[in-house]
Amino acid sequence: MFLHEKTYNLDELTAYNTHTHTNFSHCAKREMVAADMIKEAEKSGIKVLALTDHNYPDEKNQVAVQRLALLKQIENIETDVKVLIGAELSSYDIGKFADDEECDNSLDWRLYTTNHFHQGYWVHPEDKSPRGYCRHMLAIMDKVIDSGRADAFAHPFMAKYISCFDDFRVVTAAFTDNEIGDIMEKANQKEITWEINVPAVFGDPVFHKRYFGIGRETGAVFNIGTDAHKLCDIDVKQFIPELKRILY
Ligand SMILES: [Zn+2]
Ligand SMILES: [Zn+2]
C-alpha cells in the first residue's frame, strides 16, 4: 500500500513515520505507550504514524491481538494524526512467514522484515559468503512480494544482524545495482514501499546512498521509518540534515 505519491524530497517525508515500536515490543522503552507516542507525533508535525511491533515466533499471530488492545488504548484520543496499527512482520526464510496470512491482513500496515538474522529461528543461507547472503535475502524479498502480504520492507538489504563478517557492509557492497533495481521495480508494481530506516542508513551510509539513487531511477516509493524504541526518536525532522548529507 502506498501512503502517498512518490517523492524524493525528504522534507515531505517528515510527515510520516512508518516504523515505531510500542512497549509491546520487548526491546522498546516502557515509555512507548500509544497515547504518548501520538502526542510526540503531533509535536513533531507527523500526520501518519505507524505502530509496528515485533512478532515473536512463540506467540504466533499475537500482533493481531495486540492491535485490538492498541485500538482500545487510543479510542478516546482526539488527534489529527492518522495512526496505522501494523507490525514488523517476519519472513525468516524463502517463502516462510512467522504469522498466518489472516493475521497479516488484519493489520493496517504490514512492514516486512527479511533480515533479522540475529534471531535464533532465522534461516541462514547454506552459502555463507557475502554473495550467498545477497542471493538469500533477494530470494526472501522476491517471495514476500509474490505473496501480496507486505505494504513495505523494513530496513531492506541491511546486513547489520549478520555476525560472521568482520564488517557486515561487505554484504551490502556485494549486491549489484541490477539486483537492487530489479527487486525495487518488482515491488513497485505491487505497491510495496521501501523504507529509509534511519539507524540502518546511519550504520551503512555508502550502501544507502546507492540504494536511494537506484530507487529514484526506478521510481520506487520511499518512506522514512525511525525505528523508534523511545519517544525522542519519533520525530523524523531531527534526522533530516544527516539523512540529506548521506543520501544525496
Ligand atoms: Zn527490524
Ligand atoms: Zn523495528
Q: What is the CATH number of the domain that holds 54?
A: 3.20.20.140
Nearest ligand, CA 113: 1
Domain annotation covers residue 38: yes
Domain annotation covers residue 173: yes
Domain annotation covers residue 2: no
The C-alpha cell that represents 24 in the structure block: 509491546
Q: What is the mean pLDDT of the chain?
A: 97
Residues 54 and 30 sit within 8 Å (Cβ to Cβ): no
Nearest ligand, CA 52: 2
What is the model's pLDDT at position 1? Answer: 87
Nearest ligand, CA 87: 2
Which one, of 91, 135, 125, lies nearest residue 111 by Cα? 91
Q: What is the Å distance from ligand 1's center to 156 Cα?
A: 9
Q: What is the Å distance from ligand 1's center to 162 Cα?
A: 13
Q: What is the Å distance from ligand 1's center to 88 Cα?
A: 7
Q: What is the mean pLDDT of residues 125-136?
A: 98
Q: What is the Å distance from ligand 2's center to 79 Cα?
A: 24
Domain coverage including residue 226: 12-247
What spatial distance separates the first Cα and last Cα of the chain, rounded to whole Å? 26
What is the model's pLDDT at position 81? Answer: 98
Q: What is the mean pLDDT of residues 4-8?
A: 95
What is the model's pLDDT at position 25? Answer: 97
Q: What is the Å distance from ligand 1's center to 158 Cα?
A: 9
Give percent of the chain with pLDDT exceeding 70.
Answer: 100
Residues 220-238: tens digit of each pLDDT? 999 999 999 999 999 999 9
Residue 49 and residue 134: Cα distance in Å, rounded? 31
Domain annotation covers residue 55: yes
Residues 174 and 206 sit within 8 Å (Cβ to Cβ): no
What is the model's pLDDT at position 165? Answer: 97
Domain annotation covers residue 3: no
Residues 36-91: tens digit of each pLDDT? 999 999 999 999 999 999 999 889 999 999 999 999 999 999 999 999 999 999 99
Domain annotation covers residue 34: yes
Decide if pLDDT at 175 tops 90.
yes
Domain annotation covers residue 135: yes
Decide if pLDDT at 33 tops 90.
yes
Residues 71 and 112 sit within 8 Å (Cβ to Cβ): no
Residues 47 and 15 sit within 8 Å (Cβ to Cβ): yes
Q: What is the mean pLDDT of residues 169-174?
A: 98
Domain annotation covers residue 4: no
Q: What is the Å distance from ligand 2's center to 129 Cα?
A: 26
What is the model's pLDDT at position 31? Answer: 98
Q: How many domains in the chain?
A: 1
Q: What is the mean pLDDT of residues 93-109?
A: 98
Residues 115-127: tens digit of each pLDDT? 999 999 999 999 9
For the whole model, what pTM was predicted? Answer: 0.97
